Amino acid sequence: MAKLDHAAPTALTGRPESGGLRRDVGLIGLTWASVGSIIGSGWLFGAEKAVVTAGPAAIISWGIGTVAIVLLALVHAELGGMFPVAGGTARYPHYAFGGWAGMSFGWFSWLQAATVAPIEVEAMIGYAKHWHFAEGFQHADGTLSASGIAVSVLLMAVFVGVNFFGVRALAHTNSAATWWKIAIPLAAIFIIAIGNFHPGNFTSEGFAPYGAKGVLGAISSSGIIFALLGFEQAIQLAGESRNPKRDLPRATLGSVAIGAVIYMLLQIVFIAALPHASFAHGWAHLHFTGISGPWAGLATIVGLGWLGVVLYIDAVISPAGTGLIYTTATSRVSYGLAKNGYAPKLFTRTDKRGVPWFGLIISFVTGVLCFLPFPSWQELVGFITSASVLMYAGAPLAYGVFADRLPHRERPYRLPGGKIVSPLSFVVANLIIYWSGWDTLWRLGFAILLGYVLLGSYAVYAIVKKLPDAPRLDFRAAQWLPVYLIGIGVISYLGTFGGTGLLPLWWDMVVVAAFSVVIYYWAKAVASKPEAIEREIEEVVVTDAPAH
């Protein structure tokens, strides 16, 4: 994952202050925006973490993950054309279900953005362990040591510091940077594969040694979904597309296809190139010199030391760029929450450079706190995956509402079979969340509860004090939301992915699917009325922070 750089429209029509959006972005521009986000730091660890969890059957995990992302992306493609505004993933539920849902999905969006910078720091630390001075930054199990936490805090401070001085040049990924991000993993794939491809690795210790549970668990906990996220960047540019009806679905599916092919090849080559001794005791015990930086370590042990050096350098530079961008994004989302009346106006204050300084400080504090419950890359990636997919899950729900309530609204792109794809994508989203496991979801539940305490308290305060920007919290239209959140948590607790196991494998997924369908149609039935939706579309102000 990489950037979140959007245009800065000022009304829900998507028009920037200077006038209408210029529709001059073509198919290549849309596709490259998403590809630059999909090919991020996930490639540095995804192949190693997935094969440890699922064995060579991790290839199947990548396939399932790709299908899931495609379903979500298609739903977002139609919504992006209907509402060509920045930050649409948090706004669609607001239009469909009112202020309470808007506040909730806005918080989910903030959680997702706030946790990306810390995971990029942990990626940098993992690969930096190659150098002697950094050997003590991680324990043997990959968790941060005391010195590692100290360095991580310092790196987070650097991200925030750079943002204070303006990060405009870093925030806009250009074509050269995108080519670089594609070229490095492709180079690793083909250079390592030449002379180091051992087909027997796929079966010598069993193709799927950990069964279906390993295959499904890898999707959420090994960085597969995390790696494939980023398709929405093309959708965010829907209002500036020359031909959104033709190009949006092509760019969305094309970027996912490019990312999926690269990640699949990475997984195949990683498995095939490993010396048998590294996994002779089982894939769960995979070990080789330099495994803390899997790809660079692999390049080194197969005699490609020069490539290893390139990868070690890239593994510091690339995550650092992503961390910088998402530090900006976090302050931008908090700025938006404040503009919508869900957070104190302090978050909207900017310095002379136009930087929302208080939001940056809070993003730093949040990032530092993430290192405590999630001291390793893999532990944090499950949390980010769940928060991201929970944020995206609002789109299928909103899609169902708009299909019924706003049938005649202009749609530059209309999803074929949308009334089937939409509930199916919601089911798939909830399965991904469930596969993250109870150990991740109870932490996510705590974070959600904290959000309700913080944002809910301020919203109530604003309503009681009759502040001019006090939000309208429509509890009736979002009555399904607490049942949905608590229900997913209960199923996870009872399930086989880190839970008590009272719901056996396969039956647990049937329960998740049935529960999802009930929530989907319940939400459609109680959603806001057409006139209320139209009013929100006309009245709610787009809340992007000023460009730096």
pLDDT tens-digit profile of 323-381? 877 787 788 788 878 877 788 888 888 777 677 888 889 989 998 988 888 887 777 88
Select from 72, 81, 441 the least CA-distant residue to 231. Answer: 72
Quote the CA–CA distance of 334 and 363 in Å, as a whole number: 9
Q: Is 14's pLDDT higher than 80?
A: no
pLDDT per residue as tens digits for the range 27-72: 887 787 778 778 877 888 999 999 999 999 999 999 999 999 999 9
Angle between helices 211-221 and 377-392 (to 10 degrees): 80
CB contact at 8 A, 488 and 441? yes
Least confident window among 87-91, 146-150, 256-260: 87-91
What's the mean pLDDT in 267-293? 94
Q: Is 286's pLDDT higher than 90?
A: yes
**pLDDT for 51:** 96
Q: Is 308's pLDDT higher than 80?
A: yes
pLDDT per residue as tens digits for the range 68-85: 999 998 898 888 778 766
Quote the CA–CA distance of 323 and 330 in Å, as a whole number: 10
What residue ranges in 94-220 does DSSP mark as E strands?
none
Residue range 27-120+169-274+375-539 forms a domain whose CATH class is mainly alpha
Angle between helices 507-526 and 394-405 (to 10 degrees): 40
The reported pTM is: 0.84
CB contact at 8 A, 272 and 204? no
pLDDT band of 237, cuts 50, 70, 90: low
What's the mean pLDDT in 386-391? 88
Q: CA end-to-end span of the chain, whole Å?
A: 21
Q: Give the tokens for residue 202.
A: 């796929």
Select from 20, 51, 397 the least CA-distant residue to 223. Answer: 51
**pLDDT for 174:** 47
The CA-based angle 459-462-463, given to 5 degrees, is: 85
- DSSP character at residue 528: P
Q: Is 294's pLDDT higher than 70?
A: yes
pLDDT per residue as tens digits for the range 96-137: 998 899 889 989 988 888 888 898 898 888 888 878 888 888
Least confident window among 193-207, 391-405, 454-468, 486-500: 454-468
Residue spans of the domains in the chain: they are 27-120+169-274+375-539
**pLDDT for 246:** 75
Q: How far is CA 501 from CA 322, 442, 460, 494, 506, in A?
A: 38, 16, 39, 6, 11
